[in-house]
């Protein structure tokens, strides 16, 4: 069965980004056309009811990775606000393909020189649609690599046996 995985952005309170909700709805529609289903990938810690709420937008499954807080910000906004809540244990991934002011490389160098863990991802190619898809998939591989490095072999929901039994009994 074919399927579409959507990376669902959320804030610290577990409220999902409206664009992510729209992407899940569109993914469900497209997956349905080929006999598949849509799923959502959530990076960070969200309440069970918030994750389950993605179902009303068409997500057949929700995969929570790591349970760590993850944020996405415009580079300039990060430099003015999120920078001040950065901890030594945090990792920063800078997507500089959408950075016309070229702030990304300077931010990357400044963070690195002060001991922060950071990655700078440049332009994939000249086609903006391909670049967006490239970064969407790449950003999904980062938490997977982190989970593997920590020795995790399955998403949170696979270990939540009681909740999984309830979910299965409602679906199947």
User: Over the stretch 106-131, which tens digit does the pLDDT of each residue have?
Assistant: 999 999 999 998 888 776 566 666 66
Q: Which residues does 48 contact at the CB level (< 8 Å), separation at least 6? A: 163
Break the chain down into helix, strand, coil percent, rounded to 5: 50, 20, 30
| Burial of 21 from C-beta contacts in 10 A (0-12 / 13-18 / 19+) | buried
User: Over the stretch 38-89, which tens digit does the pLDDT of each residue have?
Assistant: 888 887 777 777 888 898 999 888 877 765 555 566 777 778 777 887 888 7
Residue 59's SS3 state is: strand
Q: What pLDDT, on the 0 to 100 scale, is given for residue 1?
A: 46
pTM above 0.85, yes or no: no
Q: How far apart are the first and last CA of the chain?
A: 17
Average pLDDT over residues 89-97: 77
Average pLDDT over residues 10-26: 88
Contact 102, 75 (CB under 8 A): no
């Amino acid at each position: 069965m074919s399927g579409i995985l959507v990376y669902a952005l959320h804030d610290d309170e577990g409220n999902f980004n409206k664009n992510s909700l729209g992407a899940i709805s569109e993914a469900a529609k497209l997956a349905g056309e080929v006999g598949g289903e849509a799923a959502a990938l959530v990076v960070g810690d969200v309440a069970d009811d918030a994750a389950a709420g993605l179902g009303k937008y068409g997500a057949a499954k929700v995969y929570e990775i790591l349970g760590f807080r993850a944020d996405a910000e415009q580079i300039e906004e990060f430099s003015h606000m999120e920078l001040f809540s950065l901890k030594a244990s945090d990792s920063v991934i800078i997507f500089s393909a959408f950075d016309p002011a070229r702030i990304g490389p300077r931010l990357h160098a400044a963070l690195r020189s002060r001991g922060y863990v950071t990655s700078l991802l440049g332009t994939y190619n000249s086609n903006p649609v391909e670049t967006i898809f490239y970064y969407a998939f790449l950003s999904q591989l980062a938490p997977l690599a982190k989970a593997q490095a920590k020795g995790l072999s399955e998403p949170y929901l696979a270990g939540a046996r009681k909740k999984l039994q309830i979910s299965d009994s409602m679906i199947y």
